[in-house]
Amino acid sequence: MILYLMRHANAGLFRENPTLDAKRGLVKEGKEQCMLMARMLSALKVQVDVIVSSPLKRATQTAQFVGTELGYDGKVETSKALLPTADFTAFQDMLIKYSGREGLLAVGHNPILYQFLGRLITGNGGAAIRMRKASIARVDLDHHPPRLQWLIDPRSARAIYASVAKSSRPKTSRK
């Protein structure tokens, strides 16, 4: 199975009240990040069979925006294994639940996402991998240990799009 692990997009400032923070939705920049990253996934010809999100609003919105842009017509499922307070055992159980799928997009939060990613690819959590908001990591779970194939964040995606938009042909004058 290919796991696409995505951190939710920008949802503004953290709120001290946990109830209010759970309801914090994406800001305009976050919605733009979703569209950009979904276009990047489309350009990479990413296929997902299932999308699973943390139940918190900012993560489910991220999952829905990206899913819509990818043409995903299924329902975005939620899992407590992607909450900011989740543990690695719950995350592994979630992966086992969807192990029959070819592509899984899981949308969650830091710090657990980079901890889970590090633990997946090293087996002991020895890797510290920075995941900015709206970053997506592709992990091939069929290798042992699982193999990180790429990690793209919105800054990199913008730079890639900017370089592709420029003509690669040298300018010549016609006289």
The model's pLDDT over 76-118, given as tens digits with 9 standing for 90+, comes to 999 999 999 999 999 999 999 999 999 999 999 998 999 999 9
pLDDT averaged over the chain? 90
Mind listing the pLDDT tens digit for each residue in 134-162?
999 999 999 888 999 999 999 999 998 78
Position 168 pLDDT exceeds 80: no
Contact 9, 25 (CB under 8 A): no
Two tokens, residue 110: 């830091």
Position 167 pLDDT exceeds 60: no
Contact 114, 148 (CB under 8 A): no
Residue ranges of domains in the chain, CATH in brackets: 2-163 (3.40.50.1240)
Two tokens, residue 85: 């307070």
Contact 132, 35 (CB under 8 A): no
Per-residue model confidence (pLDDT) at position 23: 85
